[in-house]
Structure 1
């Protein structure tokens, strides 16, 4: 997401990782994160990478909370912290929090070293990881296409004739 003060946001991320003793991967993205600070060897900067490849290799993820990014993190079994900017990102942040898959969302305007450090520590709890892995298994075993078709058909008028599915 575009970030108003990328230097400040980068410093918050770096300090929170240092405070929690964690390594990190920072996506420079539209916000130009990481471009204004000296980056230590335990931080890796990326630009334009496939989430579905990276997230399964991560202990946890922090992101803006777009629907696609959120789904990819959950499919990977990652505890998640949402830092929403606008729109449905707040909705997904609340869903993550309510399922115990991450801490309460941290709106970008409220992002601090303390809030992000607390979020990281929350995500690293074994029971949070276990809940995330349980959900990942449910997602893996779900027939999403069939469920979507059934949901669509369920909203059609009752008198509408549907052709039987091919055998």
Structure 2
């Protein structure tokens, strides 16, 4: 049986009895929780998307606003998430298919590879270098 950690956020806990395998949690740091999870089902916000990718786990995304649709599409194109799920029109078979995709060995391998690549990059240093290059009054030397 699968175990689920449910963080209901501002929506609140559902008005129904939850199975014994569903554990309701409060705010928890993604960087502590997600590396211990098999996958993340989330809304596709940039922060949660980053945290799931960095943890090296697949995602199932249920976007509902703003940039969440972009991130859901990006994760699908990277092969670490199935097609976005509709929170308003979710059908049991669609959920089962998405879960099967997320649990597939190839999907898990792509997610782990993405997490390792993110852990090995120095995005801050690359960002600073790019900003300094753009703000420089003189053009950079060739091949930089």
With the length of structure 2 as denominator, give the TM-score of the two structures. 0.88
Matched residue of 2:88: which SS?
helix
Matched positions, count: 140
- Shift of residue 83, structure 1, vs aligned partner: 0.5
**In the alignment, what sits opposite 2:26?**
47
For residue 137 of structure 2, the aligned residue among 134, 146, 159 is: 159
Task: Decide which of 21, 32, 52 is 1:73's aligned counterpart.
Answer: 52
Change in CA separation of 1:27 and 1:155 when aligned onto 2, cut-off 3 Å: same
Instruction: Give runs of aligned pairs for residues 123-162 of structure 1, distance below 5 A.
Output: 123-156=102-135, 159=137
Given the alignment of the two structures, is residue 91 of structure 1 paired with residue 70 of structure 2, yes or no? Answer: yes
Which ranges of structure 2 fall in alignment gaps of 5 or more residues?
Answer: none
**SS of aligned partner of 2:82:** coil
Measured after TM superposition, the shift of residue 161 of structure 1 is: 8.7
Give, in angstroms, the shift of residue 109 of structure 1: 2.7
Structure 2 distance, partners of 1:101, 1:108, is 19
Extract unaligned runs of 5+ from structure 1: 1-20, 163-167
Secondary structure of 1:151's match?
Answer: helix
Alignment partner of 1:22 is 2:22: no
4+ long deviations beyond 4 Å: none
* Deviation, structure 1 residue 22: 2.4
Whether 1:103 and 2:100 are equivalent positions in the alignment is no
2 CA distance for matches of 1:80 and 1:50?
17
Match for residue 17 of structure 2? Answer: 38
**Matched residue SS, 1:62:** strand
CA distance in 1, matches of 2:122, 2:112: 18
